[in-house]
Structure 1
Amino acid sequence: MKMLKLLALDRFTILLIVMVMLAIFIPVHGQAANGFGVVTNIAIAILFFLHGAKLSREAIIQGILHWKLHAVVFAFTFALFPILGLLAKPLLLPLLGQQLYWGFLFMCFLPSTVQSSIAFTSVAKGSVAAAVCSASFSNLIGMFITPILVSVFIFGQSQHGYDPTSSIIEITLLLLVPFIAGQLLRPIIFSYMQKAPSIVKAFDQGTILMVVYGAFSAAVVAGLWHQVSWTILCYLTIACSLLLTIIMLLALYIPRWFGFNRADQIAIFFCGSKKTLASGVPMAQILFIGQPIGMIVLPIMIFHQIQLMVCGIIANYWSKQHTDE
């Protein structure tokens, strides 16, 4: 059990693996897949409604005031990650193939995580308020920036008729509108959410599991495992690990050079070094219609687990350091 905790293999991670295995052996397809997709979209909308209800107005105001920290996180998330992904093209495209490289690049275009960024910042004794604002801002702005980056750097080179406007509208309706509705209704429903935090968490994780199962089911039906060998999976895992290592080293030292205090450095480190699975898979389903979604989301699936493992170890180490001081 200690080893599982060290590797961040909690119940959710194990269930994530189970969903992938279930999709491999019992994929949903045909009319059932269409119905499952509708139910999943409804669950996603409710999930972002709950995210909106959880974020306080005070946190939003504080986040706006602490613009320097958010500018650094924004630069990591939507500038540094994409630059590294694009620079890796000459090496990764021949090794991974077009679809997996697109997935790797798409991962670089995604916003940061919300829950895990806040949780790790809290464990490491960093600025939780800054993490809440920065991670939430990243997800909100990512609904607009990610489709534009995909349009310019992925489809701009292969599908000249691609227009990101419709994708932005779909993402806005599915993710942003429910989030705003949650904000507006927060005074009414937040107290009920506090009384049942386990139910909210279960719904949160359950929605991600549904999305992953649906995406990988479609991939299996389309012949994913006939296209991806164990060798390519190893290459992809190494690429994700190297990317995370480079980003984390930069996220460790750059905030120090800019003169941020320790608490803010920790928030920048965890918010600026991670990519979201919860928003990534729904966005992929909208942005990559007609493409093998399983191939597109496989890089973020692998990167997601690596980042949880590494951040879990680092957060615990920094927490002990803070206690010793």
Structure 2
Amino acid sequence: MSLRLVKRLARDWFLLGMLGAVGLALLFPDFGRSGGAMHADVVTNVGIFAVFFLHGLGMPMAQLRAGALQWRLHVLVQSFTFGVFPALWLVLNLVFGAWVPADVSLGFLFLCAVPSTISSSVAMTGVARGNVAGAIFDASLSSLLGIFLTPLIVGLLARTTGQSLSLGDAILKLSLLLLLPLALGQLARPLLGAFFARYRKYTNGVDRLFILVLVYASFCDSVASGIFSRHGGAIVALILGGAVLILATVLTLSTLTARRLRFSTEDEIAAVFCGSKKTLASGVPMARLLFGAHPGLGLIVLPLMFYHQLQLLVCSVLAERYAARPPAP
């Protein structure tokens, strides 16, 4: 088991890239900070627009329509993504909030409010021989709903931590830099869809490179403000422990709920993978738009970064276990 995990980590250049982006931010924070020589505000806005244009270009409408009628699955997945996760944060914040720094608490709230991820949810559902059409619909629907529900959830619940968010400005920013390029990507599918599918391996690489730039810029502001030097390694252990607790809780609850509702094994797989995952590809751009030059932005995105890697490792093991079940008669 441990050997397989080590091999996965060795193949995952994106994880190494994130570590490299954080390392560069620690060494050269002034270059990427707001107002620095990189012009982070302009670069990140261009990157966010490009990332969501590529998402729209790769969103398959025919497969979305194929999975649209499975309403019980969709209700369960979206309820977990935008209901159970925020409720879990409320409980954990009530129990542990007094010992957690405000920016870290806001980061866990943001983690619990972002939509599900598309690519890995669908890929792992396919590996596990689950309901792929339903997974495609739910993961894509989650991304669209997140443009409006993520700032709404963060804005409403952040007040419990003494912080606030301008909902009107947040939704306007997300609409212009997320929804607009998503729609343009869909409109461009008849012209560019076949090209995108043929070179998807390379376009996915471009997508991830933009995310690494956003991670670097996000951490530069936090490093320059001295947040990490004040907290030290204890904050990393705290965030890792919180991410493990949230992932274990949601995986358990989603599995038990799907079985309680007598879902087929295929629908259970889609519900567990789509309902427990959170997107880093959309989450980091959303954080940049929602929190701007917040000096704690590096801490805010750190729970999502940890959770992203944990969900990939744990869910890939789960997918292999599901795939090993005997074929249905």
* Shorter-normalised TM range: over 0.9
Aligned to 1:136: 140
Aligned to 1:259: 262
| 1:134-179 per-position Cα deviation (integer Å, ceiling 9, x unaligned) | 011001101100111111110476356x430111010011111111
C-alpha distance in 1 between matches for 2:155 and 2:109: 12
Backbone CA RMSD of aligned residues: 2.1
How far residue 43 of structure 1 moved from its aligned partner, in angstroms, is: 2.1
- Aligned with 1:271: secondary structure? helix
- Aligned with 2:289: secondary structure? helix
How far residue 53 of structure 1 moved from its aligned partner, in angstroms, is: 1.6
C-alpha distance in 1 between matches for 2:308 and 2:12: 13
C-alpha distance in 1 between matches for 2:181 and 2:96: 37
Contact kept in structure 2, 1:40 and 1:210, CA below 8 Å = yes
| Equivalent AA in structure 2 for residue 219 of structure 1 | S
Tell whether 2:95 aligns with 1:127. no
**Against the structure 1 CA distance between its residues 297 and 143, is the aligned structure 2 distance closer, same or farther, given a 3 Å change threshold?**
same
Which of 147, 153, 161 aligns to 2:157? It is 153
C-alpha distance in 2 between matches for 1:8 and 1:31: 35
Deviating more after overlay: 80-89 vs 276-285: 276-285
C-alpha distance in 2 between matches for 1:8 and 1:130: 31
Contact kept in structure 2, 1:92 and 1:101, CA below 8 Å = no
**Against the structure 1 CA distance between its residues 219 and 9, is the aligned structure 2 distance closer, same or farther, given a 3 Å change threshold?**
farther
| Equivalent AA in structure 1 for residue 222 of structure 2 | A
Which of 92, 107, 111 aligns to 1:107? It is 111
| Equivalent AA in structure 1 for residue 198 of structure 2 | K
**Against the structure 1 CA distance between its residues 195 and 150, is the aligned structure 2 distance closer, same or farther, given a 3 Å change threshold?**
same
Tell whether 2:85 aligns with 1:81. yes
TM-score, length-scaled by structure 1: 0.93
How far residue 33 of structure 1 moved from its aligned partner, in angstroms, is: 5.2
Aligned to 2:218: 215
Deviating more after overlay: 263-272 vs 225-234: 225-234
- Kindly report which structure 2 residues correspond to 1:266-305, keeping only aligned pairs within 5 A, or say none: 266-291=269-294, 292-305=296-309
Structure 1 gaps, min length 5: none
- Kindly report which structure 2 residues correspond to 1:55-70, keeping only aligned pairs within 5 A, or say none: 55-70=59-74
**Against the structure 1 CA distance between its residues 165 and 324, is the aligned structure 2 distance closer, same or farther, given a 3 Å change threshold?**
same
- Aligned with 2:39: secondary structure? helix
Contact kept in structure 2, 1:111 and 1:276, CA below 8 Å = yes
Aligned to 2:19: 17
Aligned to 2:166: 163
| 1:185-239 per-position Cα deviation (integer Å, ceiling 9, x unaligned) | 2111001112212221111111111111111111111112123232232122111
Which of 92, 98, 105 aligns to 1:94? It is 98
- Aligned with 1:318: secondary structure? helix
TM-score, length-scaled by structure 2: 0.92
Contact kept in structure 2, 1:171 and 1:286, CA below 8 Å = yes
Aligned to 1:240: 243
Contact kept in structure 2, 1:110 and 1:146, CA below 8 Å = yes
| Equivalent AA in structure 2 for residue 279 of structure 1 | S
Tell whether 2:192 aligns with 1:189. yes
Contact kept in structure 1, 2:77 and 2:138, CA below 8 Å = yes
Moved over 4 A (4+): 6-9, 322-325
